[in-house]
């Protein structure tokens, strides 16, 4: 009788070990290829995201559209988090008097992205900023930080138009702080 209990216990332990190993491998594969947890670095996306916020990013979340928040790589030293405001074929300009973004000749007020109206300007930095209007090339996007006065984004030559191949993925879920947990607005 004691031998059967020992075999039963060993079998149970082996089943648990197998289940735990499978779970670890599954989670590792998912977080290596399908999704990543990214910690926001900097203030360029305030008030949407603050320094230290954590988001889940997926490269398999479908088409990248106007309004999506994406992680851009190979633009600056570190990956950056920005909002897509225009996609391939669209014309980007700025209404300098109103302080607003214009896409295809239409004013896109800040409130469309959950930020203040009248805060979107072309920085006064000769030689460092693109000339506008600009047409976004196919397979590229134009990105801006939500904190428009404190964001190095597509307005600057150093970032410019972002090729789709340089987008790690888009934000699909807010993880931290817990008060903002859930799908992005």
Nearest to 70 by CA among 178, 176, 159, 181: 159
Under a CB-based contact definition with an 8 Å cutoff, are residues 82 and 92 in contact? no
| pLDDT the model gives residue 16 | 86
**Euclidean distance between CA atoms 87 and 170, whole angstroms:** 14
What residues does each domain of the chain span?
1-36, 40-178
Nearest to 183 by CA among 69, 47, 82: 69
Nearest to 143 by CA among 155, 133, 131: 155
Under a CB-based contact definition with an 8 Å cutoff, are residues 16 and 23 in contact? no
Q: Who has greater pLDDT, 84 or 17?
A: 84
Q: 67 to each of 6, 22, 34, 38, 113, how far by Cα in Å? A: 59, 37, 21, 19, 7
**Euclidean distance between CA atoms 2 and 79, whole angstroms:** 59
The per-residue pLDDT for range 138-180, each reduced to its tens digit, is 999 999 999 999 999 999 999 999 999 999 999 999 999 988 8
pLDDT band at 115 (very low <50, low <70, confident <90, very high): very high
Pick 40-178's CATH classification: 2.60.120.650, 3.40.109.10, 2.10.109.10, 2.120.10.30.
2.10.109.10
8, 12, 28, 44: the catalytic one is 44
| pLDDT the model gives residue 2 | 60
The per-residue pLDDT for range 95-111, each reduced to its tens digit, is 999 999 999 999 999 99
Q: Is residue 1's pLDDT more than 60?
A: no
The per-residue pLDDT for range 25-50, each reduced to its tens digit, is 777 766 666 688 899 999 999 999 99
| pLDDT the model gives residue 33 | 65
Percentage of the chain modeled with pLDDT above 70: 92
Catalytic residue status for 158 = no
**Euclidean distance between CA atoms 89 and 13, whole angstroms:** 59
DSSP state of 150: G
Backbone angles phi, psi at 31, to 5 degrees: -80, -10
Please give the span between the terminal C-alpha atoms of the chain, in angstroms, as a whole number.
61
| pLDDT the model gives residue 17 | 84
Per-residue burial over 31-52, b = 16 or more CB atoms within 10 Å of its CB, e = otherwise? eeeebbebebebbbbbebbeee
**Euclidean distance between CA atoms 37 and 116, whole angstroms:** 28
pLDDT band at 120 (very low <50, low <70, confident <90, very high): very high
């Amino acid at each position: 009788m004691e031998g059967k209990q020992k075999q039963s216990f060993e079998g149970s332990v082996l089943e648990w070990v197998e289940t735990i190993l499978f779970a670890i491998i599954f989670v590792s594969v998912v977080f290596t290829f399908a999704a990543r947890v990214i910690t926001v670095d900097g203030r360029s996306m305030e008030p949407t995201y603050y320094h230290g916020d954590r988001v889940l990013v997926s490269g398999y979340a479908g088409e990248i559209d106007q309004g999506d928040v994406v992680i851009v790589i190979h633009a600056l030293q570190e990956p950056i988090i920005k909002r897509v405001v225009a996609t391939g074929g669209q014309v980007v300009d700025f209404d300098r008097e109103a302080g607003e973004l214009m896409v295809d000749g239409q004013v896109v007020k800040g409130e469309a992205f959950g930020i203040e109206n009248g805060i979107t300007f072309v920085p006064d930095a000769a030689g460092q900023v693109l000339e506008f209007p600009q047409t976004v090339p196919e397979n590229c996007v134009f990105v801006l930080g939500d904190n428009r006065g404190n964001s190095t984004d597509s307005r600057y030559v150093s970032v410019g138009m972002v090729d789709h191949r340089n987008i790690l993925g888009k934000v699909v879920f807010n993880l931290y702080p817990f008060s903002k947990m859930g799908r992005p607005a």
